[in-house]
Structure 1
């Protein structure tokens, strides 16, 4: 077991809660610790998918470059999440890059161990399967949003998803608990930085959010939910959104 890794760091994660100390020790024997500074990549799009990971601390964003050269923020990785499981989906290469948005700590294992890893740890396998299913559901939902919803709805939904995944209550409101830029939100929602900036400024004037450099606080969740549900209560739509 790596000497710089405390067993309790993974014992309390949902993926590993049901495992005995002996099972944890066996898992950690082949684990490698990854320390990522802001901007570091755990792996990059197109690289051979030779390892899979579990995030222990921090936050990562999954970024994909389309054939047209457009960058898309696919999702965010939160502590306790398994990621980099391309080989589990029978893909030889990583379909996207995964970058640290703040200092982060992860464990990784060789992809060649995935089948044995899941066979001997049914709880981990079940959680990993749920993760894959949730990602497929989220991908289908985003395709539907891009096809049918106005830009304000998409931005509201994206922020609400982040609040649900990583929101932390503060006296100001619910803060998204990792650095996130307006450009990130634009790349999540298929729109432009200018459009996101205009929307957030309008919402700030209405008391819905507080936004600053790499920081978003939601002050009125119910109002943001109403915006996400339909355009009938929304701010007039900017005309420069991508469709």
Structure 2
């Protein structure tokens, strides 16, 4: 993980910093560390002391958790502009999961001991952090319910719909591309199923004109049909 200098104009476009005064922005950036993370490299690892919190400036991360039984689960994806690793905000002293770069990424890092000062300078952060924790908790509850009550086809359809809503980009052919690298194994780990099952479903859906996929890329071509599959 390499350090680099920060061009402050890059962060002004994020909602988190847009309304900050120059003085407060200077204070926030005075202690920031800017790091480049290569694909497959962790920003932090599950169980490690939560010494820092972060904002993703560029790229894409996935958050992975190893269950007590040793199973790997993709918990969520982190997109540019999102704060993550905020264990301090939920009174944890360690990271509950691993954040790993999917593509070359740039992260901003601050010491966890600065969290309170950071929030005082930027009240929007406190609101965003609370909102993010609430969304993640709601998503976790939804996924637990899906794992407990839904057939695998519905779970996979729900997962793709969530990704489309978070990171969908309209293409010229009318499809919606999930705008980051996504493997079939990732989808399997998100939905508690196997790579074979996900491959079988996506192949069937491609034949029906619901999705199209290439290497590490998935686009939804018929969102209405996918929503119907999610409803069962």
Short-chain TM bin: over 0.9
Deviation of the 1:191 alpha carbon: 0.5
Which residue is equivalent to 2:170? 169
Q: Indicate yes or no: 2:74 matched with 1:73.
A: yes
TM-score, length-scaled by structure 1: 0.92
Aligned-partner Cα distance in 1 for 2:5–2:208: 48
Q: How many angstroms does 1:98 deviate by?
A: 0.3
**Aligned residues between the structures:** 229
Counterparts of 2:169 and 2:76, CA distance in 1: 18
Match of 2:219 among 213, 217, 226: 217
Give the ranges of 4+ consecutive aligned residues of structure 1 lying more than 2 Å apart after TM superposition.
none
Matches of 1:171 and 1:203 in 2, distance apart? 20
- Contiguous gaps of at least 5 residues in structure 1: 231-243
Q: Per the alignment, do residues 146 and 3 of structure 1 end up closer, same or farther by CA in structure 2, a change over 3 Å counting? A: closer
Deviations 1:133-175 (A, max 9, x none): 1111111111111111111111011011111111111134111
Aligned residue for 2:65?
64
Tell me the TM-score normalised to structure 2 length: 0.96
Superposed CA offset, 1:70-127 (max 9, x none): 0000000011100001122111110100001111111010001111211221111111
Q: How far is 1:3 from its partner?
A: 8.0
Alignment equivalent of 2:209, drawn from 207, 210, 215: 207
Task: Give 1:233's aligned residue.
Answer: none
Q: Report the aligned-residue RMSD.
A: 1.2
2:126 match: 125
1:39/1:45 Cα in 2 relative to 1: closer, same or farther (>3 Å)? same
Q: Secondary structure at the match of 1:5?
A: coil
Q: Which blocks of at least 5 consecutive residues in structure 2 are unaligned?
A: none
